[in-house]
C-alpha cells in the first residue's frame, strides 16, 4: 500500500479500484494512477531511449540545419511545457507553506520528473538540428504517448467538473495548468510531424526526385530514388567477400593437405586447396547479414504473440453476448482493443517484412558481386566445369532463390512457436483432447520428410537441365551467324527442345510432389480440428461443443493453418536454396589462377624470361608447354612462329599467368598489354574501346588511330569514333576489330606487349602499314618489349629474335640471319615455301612468287560485316561530302547508336497477355481448375456454417443429442475439401507446365526466325534473361501465384458473405471500405507493375556485361582493369536494385493500408455484433468474427497476389514480345519445287542487284550486273567499305536485295526458302565458331552423313591424325566456343564442314588467316582438288592468294570498278594494279 500514502497521506486516494475501473457503467482511473503511471510512462520512455538516441546522433552526423521558424517553435513549446511543470512544483511548495494539511509527495515528484523530461525534450530538439535530423521518430512517439496518457486524465478532469456539486472548483490552479499543458502537447505533436529544411554539409546522396508523380502517369527511371549507402554493392559485397575469405583461410589452416595451395586473389580472396573439409558459405552469409536480420526476429516474436490476442478477445466477446448482465461498454472496449491489437500487429508485421526484404536484397547484391569477382579469377580448369550458363544461373536464379527464402526463413522457428502457443490455448479451451491433434501433426512429419527428400532430388535435376539449356542458348546466340549461314537453326532448336522436355519432365514430378504436399498441409489443420473435436465429444458425453469452445478453437486452428501451410513452402524454398548454396559454394571454391605464377622482377639482362618452364591448361593433364627457356631483353621485338597447335598462343597465356605453372619460373618486368588472336570488343563506342578506361589524351589518341590505320574507318562510321560497337564487335569487320584491339593496347602505353597474330585479319598493305607504324623497329612501340606471334614470314627479317615452336617446345631460337645460317628446320621450311630477298637498306622483305610453288591463300573480310548498316553507307551515298560528314558525325553521336536497350512497357498489362497464357494452359484445364477451387471453398464455408449450427444445438440432460450426426457430416465435408485441394493444386501446376512448354517453344522459334539485324540490335543479355529469369518465372512462380490469388479471392468473398449474413449492418460500412480498398489497389498496382517492369528491364544489362566480361577475362586481367569492370558490374546491380527497393516499400505501403481496411471490417463486425447482441446467437457471432479475423490476411494477400499476377505476367509479355518483331523469309517453300541436286553447275547470274542495310539508308550495293560461270574461280577485292561482304550477304540472303535479282543455275534465289538456299551453298567464315558438344555434332548436327564420310572430311582437312589421337575420337567434347582447340584447328574444322557438305558453290572468308604457311599450302591443295568443279568466290585481303584465279572482281563504293582476269587487270593499270603494287606483287 506504499502508493496509497505516496498519493494521499490519509490513503483516501487508492492506486487502483476495480469498482471504479471495471464493474461500473462509467469507468475511470483513480487520481493516484493518473498522477503516477500516466505521468511517468512517457517520461520513462524518453529517459530510456534518450541516451541511446544521443549516442546514435553522435555517431551519425547528417549535416547542420540552420535555425528555422519550425525549430524555434518546437524549442519554445518544449520550454513552455517545462515552465508549466515547474510552476506546478512551485505551487505545491506554496500550498505546503500556506496549507494546514500535509501535501502528498506525488504533487512534488511527478511535476519535477515531468519538468526535467520536458527540458530533455527541448535539448534533444536542438541537438537533432545540429546533427541534421529533419524529422524525429523518437520525439514523435514521445509526444504521441504523452498526449494519449494526458487524454485519459483530460477526460477524467472533465467528468470531475461535471460531477462537481459546488459552484467553485477545489483546485483551480492545477486544472488551469493541466489544460495549458494538454493544449501545448497537441501543438508539440503537430510540430513534430512536420519536416525541417534540408541540412547543410550533408554527405547524403542528393536525389533528383523531388516532384510527386501521379499514379495515372507511369513511373519512369528518373522518378526512382537513389539506393541507401548501406544497400549499395560497394558496401555489401566486400563484407561477404571478407567473411568468405576468413572461412576459406580457417578451413585451409585445419586442412592437412600436402599439395600446393592456391594463393589469395586480389579480387576475391579464396584458397582452394585439396581439403577434406569444405568452407561454410552458410556461416559466411550468416556472419555478414545475420546482425541486421536478427532485428526481424525481435519483430516476429512480438507479432506471433499478438496473433493470439484475437482468439482471446473473441472468447471475451462471446462471453459478453452470453452474459446479458455485463456492462455495454465492455463490448465496445473489446472492439476497440481488438482494433488496436490488430493495428499494432499489422505495423510490426510490416516492419518485420521490410527488414527481411532489405536483407534479401542485400544478399542478392552480395551473391552477384561475389560471383562476378570470382569469375574474373577462376582458372582455365574451373572454366571448363563452370559454364557461362551455370554462372548466369548463379547470378539470376540462385541469387533470386536466396532472396525469396530470406523473407520466410524465420518461419523455421516461428512456425513451431505458433504451433506450441496455439496448442497451449487449445489445451486451455478443450483440455487433453488436443493431444489427438498433436498426434495427427506428428504423423504428418515423416510423410512430408519423404516428400522433401524427393523434392531435393528433383530440384538438383531441374537446375542441371536449366544450366545446360542456358549454356546452349548462350552459345547459339553467340554463334547465331553461323547457324544461319549453315541453315542449322532447326537442328539446334531440336537440341534445346530436347533439353527443355527433360526439364519439363522434372517440373511435372515437382508438380505431383507439390500437390501431395499441398494436400497434406491444407488438410492438416482440418484433421487436427476434426480429431480434437471427435475425441472431445466422445471421451465424455457431457462435453458440450458450445460456441465459445468451437469458435475460439476454430480461430486457433485458423492460426495453426498459417504455420502449417507456410512450412511446406519454406521447406521447399530451403531445399531450393540448399541446392543453390551448394552450387555457389562449389563455384566460389573453384581453383583460381596462380597469382605468383608470374614474377615481376626479371633476371638481369632479361625483361621477359622463362626458366625451365612446364605449363598446362589443367593440373590433371600432361603439360602443354615443356622445357621452355626464354630470355627477352628490354625493348626487343620477338617473333614466335610454328605450325597450328604448336603452342604459340599458349606461350603468351603462360606469360600472362593464364596457365597452370607446373615447374620453373616466369618473370615479366613492368606492365603488360595483350592483343588476343580473336579480338575482344566491348559493346561501347569505338573511342571507349580504344581508350579502355584511360584518361583522354587527344594528341596521343590521334597518333594511335592513324598508326593503326583506323582513320579511314572513322570516316566511314556514321558517328566517327562515337559510333556504338555492337556485342562482340558485330558491326566491325575482322580486320577492323583486330585494329581496334591493337589500338587499345598501344593507347594504354605498357612496358611489355604480347601480340597474338594481330596482322592475320588485315589486308596486306594495311598489315605493312601497321607493322611499320606500330610494331616494327620504327613504329610507335619501338622502345617497348614486344612478343609477336605471327604466320607472316615477310616481317621476320626485321625482328630481333625468333622463337620457333613445335609440340609445345621452343625448338629453335635466334635472329633471322642466325636461324637461316644454322640450316635447321626453320630455314628449310622457309626456303621450301618462299623466296625472300632481304635488303639491308630499308630493312623490308619483298616476296617473289615462285613459279613452281605458288601458295594460294584464301582470305576475305566477310563474316563480321554481317551487320554493317552503320558502316560503308554514309560514305557510299555521299562520296563528295566526306569532310563535312566527318564533322557532322562527331557532333551527333546519336547517329552511331546501334544497340536497343530493353524498354519497359507502360500502363496496364494487356488482356491479350492473360489470354495468351490461358490459351497456352488450355481452356478446358482452366475451367476444371476454377471449378475445383470453387468446390473447395464452398465445402469449407458450409463446413464452418455446419459447425455454428452444431454449437447452437440445445443441450438436453447435459449433452447434445445429434452430436454424432453433426460430427459425421463435418468430417465428410472436410475430406471432400482435401480431394478438391489435391485436384486444383495438380491441375494448376500441370496447366503451368503446359503453358511453359508452349511459350518457350514459341519464343525459341520466333527468335531463331529473326533476321541478323535483330541480333545486332538486341543485347544477348536481354535474350538470355528471357530464357533464364522470365522462363523460370513462368515455370515456377506464376502457377503458385495463381493458386494463391484464386484462394485469397474466394476467402475474401466467403468471409464477406458470412459477415453480412451474421451482421447485416456491416453492409452500411462495406461500400466505403470497398471504395478505399479499390483506390489503394489501383494506386498500388499501377506503381508496382511499372516498378516490376523497370526492375526487369534493368536486370538484362547485368547479364550482358557479365557475358561480355567472361569473353574478355584474359584481356581484362592482362591490362589490370579488374577493379574498373567490378565497379561497372556493381553499378549495374545497384541500378537494378534501385527499381527493386521501391517495390519493397510499395508492398509495405499497401499492406499497412489494406490491413487497416481489414481491421476496420473486423472491428465493425464486432461492433455491430455488440449492438445486436440481444438478437444474435453465439454460434453465428462466433462464426462471423472468426471469419472476420481471417479477412485481414486474405485481403492483403488478394491485392498482393493480384499485383503479383500482373507483375509476374510481365514475364509472359516479355516472352511474347518477339512474336511481332520482323522475321526472315520462310525457311522452306513448297512451291516451286527445286531439283534435289540443285545447283548442278554453280552458275551465278547477278542482274542489276542492289541492297541496303536499313530502309532509311542508301544502297550499299548498286547496279551490280555480272555473270560467273559454273566452276569458275573468282576473287573479290576492294578497299575497306567497298561492299565485298555486302555482296556475300546478298548471296546468302542474310540481307534481302532491294533491287535486281540473283540467279543460281537459272533459279531466282529470292523465290527460294532460306534453308533451301543456304543448305545448297557453303561458306568457310573468317571467325571459326564451334559449339559445346561432340566434334561430330559440330561437323554434322543433322546426322546426314555416316562416320566414313566424316573421317574422310577430317582427313582432307588434315585433322584426322589429331582427332584419331584423341581418347574419344569423334565423340571428343568441345568446350564452349571450342576453347579447348586452337584457332587454327577450329578453322580446319570449318573446312571439314565445307568438305562434308560439298556444294557446287563455295565462299571463302579469310579461311587460312590463323594457320601457318605449311598448313595453308595443304589447305589450298585440298580446295583445288576437292572443289575443282565448283564455283569458288574468295573475298581476299592478300592478293597473292587470287593471282591464279579465272577472274577478279574489284569493287569500289558498292559498284563494280573492274572485272577481268588478273593479268588483264594488272595490264590496265587501274585500281587492281594499284592494290597489287601496294602488296608488292608488281
Predicted confidence (pLDDT) per residue in 34-88, tens digit: 888 889 999 999 999 988 988 888 888 878 888 888 888 989 998 999 898 888 8
Q: Please tell me the predicted confidence (pLDDT) of residue 209.
A: 47
Identify the weakest region by mean pLDDT among 254-268, 1046-1060, 1446-1460. 254-268
Q: Please tell me the predicted confidence (pLDDT) of residue 907.
A: 54
The model's pLDDT over 1234-1272, given as tens digits with 9 standing for 90+, comes to: 777 788 888 988 888 888 877 767 788 888 888 888 888
Closest CA to 227 of 1054, 848, 1137, 1030: 1137
- The angle formed by the CA atoms of residues 835, 840 and 842, to the nearest 5 degrees, is 100
Alpha carbons 1266 and 618: distance in angstroms, whole number: 54
- Say yes or no to pLDDT of 260 above 60: no
- Pairing state between β 1431-1435 and 1273-1277: parallel
Residue count (the chain):
1482
CA dihedral 269, 594, 382, 660 (to 10 degrees): -170
Q: pLDDT: is 274 or 92 the higher one?
A: 92
Cell matching residue 1109: 566480361
Phi, psi of 760 (to 5 degrees): -70, -30
Query: With contact defined as beta carbons under 8 Å apart, do 738 and 789 qualify?
Result: no
* Ordered DSSP codes for 462-499: HHHHHHHHHHHHHHHHHTHHHHHHHT-HHHHHHHHHHH
For residue 1197, the surrounding DSSP H or E stretch is helix 1178-1208
* Ordered DSSP codes for 903-966: ----SSPPHHHHHHHHHHH-HHHHHHHHHHHHHHHHHHHHHHHHHHHHHTSPPBTTB-TTHHHH
Cell matching residue 331: 463490448
- Say yes or no to pLDDT of 224 above 50: yes
The model's pLDDT over 738-770, given as tens digits with 9 standing for 90+, comes to: 889 999 999 988 889 999 888 877 777 778 888
Identify the weakest region by mean pLDDT among 412-426, 473-487, 852-866. 852-866
Query: With contact defined as beta carbons under 8 Å apart, do 731 and 868 qualify?
Result: yes
Angle, nearest 10°, between helix axes 69-98 and 106-130?
Answer: 160
In DSSP terms, which residues pair with 804 in a beta bridge?
641, 812
- Say yes or no to pLDDT of 856 above 70: no
Distance of CA 96 to the CA centre of its chain: 74
Q: Please tell me the predicted confidence (pLDDT) of residue 183.
A: 92
Total H helices, total E strands in the chain: 50, 24
Q: How many CA atoms lie within 13 A of 625 on its CB side?
A: 30
The model's pLDDT over 1159-1213, given as tens digits with 9 standing for 90+, comes to: 888 888 888 888 877 777 777 877 888 788 777 777 777 777 777 787 788 788 8
Q: Please tell me the predicted confidence (pLDDT) of residue 854.
A: 27
Over its C-alpha atoms, the chain yields an Rg (Å, rounded) of 41
Residue 1408's pLDDT band, with cuts at 50, 70 and 90, is low
Reduced to 3 states (helix: H, G, I; strand: E, B; else coil), residue 296 is helix
- Say yes or no to pLDDT of 105 above 50: yes
Q: Please tell me the predicted confidence (pLDDT) of residue 207.
A: 54
Burial of 653 per CB tally in 10 Å (0-12, 13-18, 19+):
buried
Residue 279's pLDDT band, with cuts at 50, 70 and 90, is confident
CA dihedral 123, 124, 130, 136 (to 10 degrees): -150
Segment 782-800 mean pLDDT: 85
The model's pLDDT over 953-976, given as tens digits with 9 standing for 90+, comes to: 777 777 777 888 888 898 888 888
The model's pLDDT over 665-696, given as tens digits with 9 standing for 90+, comes to: 888 888 899 999 888 888 888 888 888 888 88
How many angstroms separate the Cα of 1258 from the Cα of each of 1115, 1223, 1251, 1255?
37, 22, 9, 8
Peptide bond into 655 cis (omega under 30): no
Q: In this structure, what DSSP letter does residue 592 have?
A: B
Residue 146's pLDDT band, with cuts at 50, 70 and 90, is very high
Alpha carbons 1092 and 1210: distance in angstroms, whole number: 8
How many angstroms separate the Cα of 9 from the Cα of each of 2, 93, 102, 745?
10, 16, 7, 94
Q: pLDDT: is 384 or 134 the higher one?
A: 134
- The angle formed by the CA atoms of residues 397, 400 and 401, to the nearest 5 degrees, is 85
Instruction: Kindly give the residue spans of alpha helices, DSSP state H, lying in 762-811.
Output: 764-770
The model's pLDDT over 1301-1349, given as tens digits with 9 standing for 90+, comes to: 888 888 888 888 888 888 888 888 777 788 877 888 888 877 888 888 8
Peptide bond into 833 cis (omega under 30): no
Mean residue pLDDT across the chain: 80
Phi, psi of 905 (to 5 degrees): -70, 160
Reduced to 3 states (helix: H, G, I; strand: E, B; else coil), residue 307 is helix
Distance of CA 1331 to the CA centre of its chain: 25
Closest CA to 771 of 1482, 1481, 1480, 1471: 1480
Q: How many CB atoms lie within 10 A of CB 1426?
A: 17
Segment 355-382 mean pLDDT: 89
- Per-residue b or e along 1357-1379, where b marks 16 or more CB atoms closer than 10 Å to that residue's CB: bbbeebbeeeeeebebebebbbe
Percent of the chain with pLDDT over 70: 88
Cell matching residue 579: 541446392
- Say yes or no to pLDDT of 900 above 70: no
Alpha carbons 184 and 833: distance in angstroms, whole number: 103
The model's pLDDT over 795-809, given as tens digits with 9 standing for 90+, comes to: 888 888 888 888 888
Segment 491-520 mean pLDDT: 85
Q: How many CA atoms lie within 13 A of 1022 on its CB side?
A: 20
How many angstroms separate the Cα of 953 from the Cα of each of 901, 966, 974, 1478?
69, 10, 20, 109
Distance of CA 377 to the CA centre of its chain: 21
Q: Please tell me the predicted confidence (pLDDT) of residue 867.
A: 32
Q: Which residues contact 138 (CB under 8 A, 6 or more apart)?
A: 49, 53, 124
pTM of model > 0.75: no
Q: In this structure, what DSSP letter does residue 1027 have?
A: I
Alpha carbons 995 and 988: distance in angstroms, whole number: 10
Segment 716-733 mean pLDDT: 77
Phi, psi of 813 (to 5 degrees): -150, 135
Q: Which residues contact 1026 (CB under 8 A, 6 or more apart)?
A: 1003, 1214, 1215, 1218
Q: How many CB atoms lie within 10 A of CB 1019?
A: 24
Place of cell 527493386: 1140
Q: Please tell me the predicted confidence (pLDDT) of residue 916.
A: 84
Place of cell 500487429: 345
Q: Please tell me the predicted confidence (pLDDT) of residue 838.
A: 35
Cell matching residue 905: 512497357
Which of 732-741, 1068-1077, 1243-1252 tops mean pLDDT? Answer: 1243-1252
Identify the weakest region by mean pLDDT among 103-112, 440-449, 510-519. 440-449
Residue 215's pLDDT band, with cuts at 50, 70 and 90, is low
Alpha carbons 367 and 913: distance in angstroms, whole number: 33
Instruction: Kindly give the residue spans of alpha helices, DSSP state H, lying in 1250-1333.
Output: 1284-1291, 1314-1318
Segment 1059-1066 mean pLDDT: 81
In DSSP terms, which residues pair with 837 in a beta bridge?
846
Phi, psi of 789 (to 5 degrees): -85, 130
Amino acid at each position: 500500500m506504499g502508493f496509497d500514502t505516496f498519493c494521499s497521506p490519509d490513503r483516501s486516494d487508492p492506486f487502483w479500484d476495480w469498482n471504479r475501473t471495471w464493474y461500473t457503467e462509467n469507468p475511470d482511473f483513480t487520481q493516484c494512477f493518473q498522477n503516477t503511471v500516466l505521468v511517468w510512462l512517457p517520461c520513462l520512455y524518453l529517459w530510456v531511449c534518450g541516451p541511446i538516441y544521443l549516442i546514435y546522433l553522435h555517431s551519425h552526423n547528417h549535416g547542420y540545419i540552420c535555425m528555422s521558424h519550425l525549430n524555434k517553435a518546437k524549442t519554445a513549446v518544449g520550454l513552455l511545457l517545462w515552465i508549466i511543470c515547474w510552476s506546478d512544483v512551485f505551487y505545491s511548495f506554496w500550498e505546503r507553506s500556506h496549507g494546514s494539511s500535509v501535501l502528498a509527495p506525488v504533487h512534488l515528484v511527478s511535476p519535477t520528473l515531468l519538468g526535467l523530461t520536458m527540458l530533455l525534450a527541448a535539448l534533444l530538439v536542438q541537438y537533432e538540428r545540429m546533427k541534421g535530423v529533419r524529422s524525429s521518430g523518437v520525439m514523435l512517439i514521445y509526444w504521441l504517448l504523452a498526449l494519449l496518457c494526458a487524454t485519459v486524465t483530460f477526460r477524467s478532469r472533465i467528468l470531475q467538473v461535471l460531477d462537481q456539486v459546488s459552484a467553485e472548483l477545489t483546485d483551480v490552479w492545477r486544472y488551469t495548468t493541466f489544460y495549458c499543458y494538454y493544449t501545448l502537447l497537441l501543438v508539440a505533436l503537430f510540430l513534430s510531424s512536420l519536416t525541417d529544411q534540408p541540412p547543410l554539409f550533408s554527405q547524403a546522396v542528393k536525389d533528383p526526385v523531388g516532384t510527386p508523380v501521379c499514379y495515372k502517369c507511369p513511373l519512369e527511371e528518373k522518378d526512382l530514388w537513389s539506393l541507401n549507402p548501406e544497400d549499395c554493392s560497394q558496401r555489401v559485397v566486400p563484407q561477404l567477400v571478407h567473411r568468405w575469405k576468413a572461412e576459406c583461410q580457417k578451413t585451409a589452416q585445419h586442412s592437412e593437405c600436402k599439395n600446393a595451395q592456391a594463393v589469395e586473389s586480389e579480387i576475391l580472396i579464396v584458397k582452394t586447396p585439396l581439403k577434406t573439409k569444405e568452407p561454410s558459405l552458410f556461416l559466411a552469409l550468416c556472419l555478414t547479414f545475420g546482425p541486421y536480420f536478427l532485428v526481424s526476429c525481435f519483430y516476429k516474436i512480438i507479432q506471433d504473440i499478438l496473433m493470439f490476442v484475437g482468439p482471446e478477445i473473441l472468447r471475451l466477446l462471446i462471453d459478453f453476448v452470453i452474459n446479458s448482465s455485463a456492462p455495454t461498454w465492455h463490448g465496445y472496449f473489446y472492439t476497440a482493443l481488438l482494433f488496436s491489437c490488430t493495428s499494432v500487429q499489422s505495423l510490426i508485421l510490416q516492419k518485420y517484412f521490410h527488414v527481411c526484404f532489405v536483407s534479401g536484397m542485400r544478399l542478392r547484391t552480395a551473391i552477384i558481386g561475389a560471383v562476378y569477382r570470382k569469375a574474373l579469377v577462376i582458372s582455365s580448369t574451373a572454366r571448363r566445369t563452370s559454364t557461362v550458363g551455370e554462372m548466369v544461373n548463379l547470378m539470376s536464379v540462385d541469387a533470386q532463390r536466396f532472396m525469396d527464402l530470406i523473407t520466410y526463413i524465420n518461419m523455421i522457428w516461428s512456425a513451431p512457436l505458433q504451433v506450441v502457443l496455439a496448442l497451449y490455448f487449445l489445451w486451455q479451451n478443450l483440455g487433453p483432447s488436443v493431444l489427438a491433434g498433436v498426434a495427427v501433426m506428428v504423423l504428418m512429419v515423416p510423410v512430408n520428410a519423404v516428400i522433401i527428400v524427393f523434392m531435393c532430388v528433383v530440384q538438383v535435376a531441374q537446375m542441371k537441365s536449366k544450366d545446360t539449356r542456358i549454356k546452349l542458348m548462350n552459345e547459339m546466340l553467340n554463334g547465331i551467324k553461323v547457324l544461319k549461314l549453315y541453315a542449322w537453326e532447326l537442328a539446334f532448336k531440336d537440341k534445346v527442345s530436347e533439353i527443355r522436355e527433360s526439364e519439363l519432365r522434372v517440373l511435372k514430378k515437382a508438380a505431383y510432389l507439390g500437390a501431395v504436399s499441398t494436400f497434406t498441409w491444407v488438410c492438416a489443420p482440418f484433421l487436427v480440428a476434426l480429431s480434437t473435436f471427435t475425441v472431445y465429444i466422445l471421451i465424455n458425453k457431457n462435453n458440450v461443443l458450445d460456441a465459445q469452445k468451437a469458435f475460439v478453437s476454430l480461430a486457433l486452428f485458423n492460426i495453426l493453418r498459417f504455420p502449417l501451410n507456410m512450412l511446406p513452402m519454406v521447406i521447399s524454398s530451403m531445399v531450393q536454396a540448399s541446392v543453390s548454396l551448394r552450387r555457389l559454394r562449389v563455384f566460389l571454391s573453384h581453383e583460381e589462377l596462380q597469382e605468383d605464377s608470374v614474377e615481376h622482377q626479371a633476371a638481369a639482362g632479361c625483361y621477359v624470361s622463362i626458366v625451365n618452364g612446364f605449363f598446362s591448361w589443367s593440373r590433371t593433364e600432361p603439360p602443354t608447354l615443356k622445357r621452355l627457356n626464354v630470355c627477352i631483353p628490354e625493348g626487343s621485338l620477338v617473333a614466335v612462329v610454328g605450325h597450328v597447335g604448336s603452342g604459340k598462343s599458349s606461350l603468351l597465356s603462360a606469360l600472362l599467368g593464364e596457365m597452370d605453372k607446373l615447374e620453373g619460373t616466369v618473370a615479366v618486368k613492368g606492365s603488360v598489354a595483350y592483343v588476343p588472336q580473336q579480338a575482344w570488343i566491348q559493346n561501347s563506342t569505338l573511342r571507349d574501346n580504344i581508350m579502355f578506361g584511360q584518361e583522354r589524351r587527344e594528341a596521343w589518341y590521334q597518333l594511335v588511330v592513324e598508326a593503326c590505320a583506323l582513320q579511314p574507318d572513322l570516316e566511314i562510321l556514321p558517328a566517327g569514333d562515337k559510333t556504338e560497337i555492337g556485342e562482340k564487335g558485330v558491326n566491325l569487320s575482322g580486320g577492323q576489330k583486330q585494329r581496334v584491339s591493337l589500338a587499345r593496347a598501344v593507347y594504354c602505353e605498357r612496358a611489355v606487349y604480347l601480340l597474338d597474330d594481330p596482322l592475320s585479319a588485315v589486308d596486306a598493305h594495311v598489315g605493312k602499314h601497321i607493322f611499320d607504324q606500330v610494331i616494327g623497329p620504327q613504329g610507335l612501340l619501338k622502345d617497348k618489349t614486344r612478343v609477336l606471334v605471327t604466320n607472316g614470314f615477310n616481317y621476320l627479317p626485321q625482328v630481333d629474335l625468333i622463337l620457333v615452336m613445335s609440340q609445345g617446345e621452343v625448338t629453335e631460337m635466334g635472329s633471322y640471319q642466325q636461324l637461316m645460317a644454322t640450316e635447321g628446320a626453320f630455314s628449310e621450311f622457309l626456303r621450301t615455301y618462299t623466296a625472300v630477298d632481304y635488303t639491308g637498306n630499308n630493312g623490308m622483305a619483298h616476296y617473289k612468287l615462285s613459279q613452281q610453288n605458288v601458295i594460294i591463300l584464301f582470305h576475305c573480310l566477310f563474316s563480321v560485316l554481317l551487320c554493317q548498316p552503320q558502316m560503308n553507307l554514309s560514305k557510299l551515298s555521299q562520296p563528295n561530302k566526306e569532310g563535312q560528314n566527318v564533322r557532322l558525325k562527331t557532333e551527333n553521336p546519336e547517329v552511331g547508336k546501334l544497340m536497343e536497350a530493353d524498354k519497359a512497357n507502360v500502363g496496364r498489362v494487356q488482356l491479350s497477355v492473360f489470354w495468351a497464357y490461358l490459351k497456352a494452359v488450355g481452356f478446358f484445364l482452366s475451367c476444371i481448375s476454377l471449378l475445383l477451387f470453387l468446390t473447395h471453398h464452398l465445402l469449407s464455408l458450409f463446413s464452418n456454417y455446419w459447425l455454428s449450427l452444431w454449437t447452437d444445438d440445445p443441450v438436453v440432460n447435459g449433452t447434445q443429442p445429434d452430436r454424432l450426426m453433426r460430427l459425421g457430416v463435418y468430417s465428410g465435408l472436410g475430406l471432400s475439401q482435401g480431394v478438391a485441394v489435391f485436384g486444383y493444386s495438380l491441375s494448376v501446376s500441370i496447366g503451368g507446365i503446359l503453358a511453359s512448354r508452349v511459350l518457350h517453344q514459341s519464343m525459341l522459334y520466333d527468335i531463331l526466325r529473326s533476321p541478323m539485324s535483330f541480333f545486332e540490335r538486341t543485347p544477348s543479355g536481354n535474350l538470355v534473361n528471357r530464357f533464364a529469369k522470365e522462363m523460370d518465372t513462368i515455370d515456377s512462380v506464376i502457377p503458385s501465384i495463381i493458386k494463391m490469388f484464386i484462394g485469397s479471392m474466394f476467402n475474401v468473398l466467403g468471409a464477406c458473405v458470412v459477415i453480412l449474413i451474421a451482421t447485416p449492418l456491416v453492409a452500411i460500412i462495406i461500400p466505403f471500405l470497398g471504395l478505399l480498398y479499390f483506390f489503394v489497389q489501383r494506386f498500388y498496382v499501377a506503381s508496382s507493375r511499372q516498378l516490376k517492369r523497370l526492375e526487369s528491364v534493368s536486370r538484362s544489362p547485368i547479364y550482358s556485361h557479365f557475358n561480355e566480361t567472361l569473353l574478355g577475362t584474359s584481356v581484362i586481367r592482362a591490362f589490370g582493369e579488374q577493379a574498373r569492370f567490378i565497379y561497372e558490374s556493381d553499378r549495374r546491380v545497384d541500378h537494378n536494385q534501385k527499381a527493386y527497393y521501391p517495390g519493397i516499400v510499395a508492398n509495405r505501403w499497401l499492406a499497412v493500408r489494406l490491413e487497416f481496411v481489414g481491421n476496420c471490417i473486423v472491428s465493425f463486425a464486432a461492433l455491430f455484433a455488440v449492438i445486436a447482441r440481444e438478437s444474435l446467437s453465439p454460434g453465428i457471432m462466433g462464426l462471423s468474427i472468426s471469419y472476420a479475423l481471417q479477412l485481414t490476411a486474405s485481403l492483403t494477400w488478394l491485392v498482393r497476389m493480384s499485383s503479383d499476377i500482373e507483375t509476374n505476367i510481365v514475364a509472359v509479355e516479355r516472352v511474347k514480345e518477339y512474336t511481332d518483331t520482323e522475321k526472315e523469309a520462310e525457311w522452306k517453300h513448297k512451291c516451286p519445287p527445286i531439283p534435289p541436286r540443285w545447283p548442278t553447275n554453280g552458275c551465278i547470274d547477278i542482274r542489276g542487284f542492289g541492297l541496303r542495310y536499313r530502309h532509311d539508308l542508301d544502297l550499299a550495293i548498286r547496279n551490280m550486273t555480272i555473270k560467273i560461270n559454273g566452276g569458275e574461280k573468282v576473287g573479290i577485292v576492294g578497299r575497306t567499305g567497298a561492299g565485298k561482304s555486302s555482296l556475300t550477304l546478298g548471296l546468302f540472303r542474310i540481307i534481302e536485295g532491294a533491287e535486281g535479282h540473283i540467279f543460281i543455275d537459272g533459279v531466282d534465289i529470292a523465290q527460294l526458302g532460306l534453308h533451301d538456299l543456304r543448305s545448297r551453298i557453303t561458306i568457310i567464315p573468317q571467325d571459326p565458331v564451334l559449339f559445346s558438344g561432340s566434334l561430330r555434332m559440330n561437323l554434322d548436327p543433322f546426322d546426314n552423313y555416316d562416320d566414313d564420310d566424316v573421317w574422310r572430311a577430317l582427313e582432307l582437312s588434315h585433322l584426322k591424325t589429331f582427332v584419331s589421337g584423341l581418347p574419344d575420337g569423334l565423340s571428343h567434347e568441345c568446350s564452349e566456343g571450342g576453347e579447348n582447340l586452337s584457332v587454327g584447328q577450329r578453322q580446319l574444322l570449318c573446312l571439314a564442314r565445307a568438305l562434308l557438305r560439298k556444294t557446287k558453290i563455295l565462299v571463302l572468308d579469310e579461311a587460312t588467316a590463323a594457320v601457318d604457311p605449311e598448313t595453308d599450302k595443304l589447305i589450298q591443295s585440298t580446295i583445288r582438288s576437292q572443289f575443282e568443279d565448283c564455283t569458288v568466290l574468295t573475298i581476299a585481303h592478300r592478293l597473292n592468294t587470287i593471282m591464279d584465279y579465272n577472274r577478279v572482281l574489284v569493287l569500289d563504293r558498292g559498284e563494280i570498278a573492274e572485272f577481268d582476269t588478273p593479268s588483264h587487270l594488272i595490264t590496265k593499270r587501274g585500281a587492281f594494279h594499284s592494290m597489287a603494287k601496294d602488296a608488292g606483287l608488281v
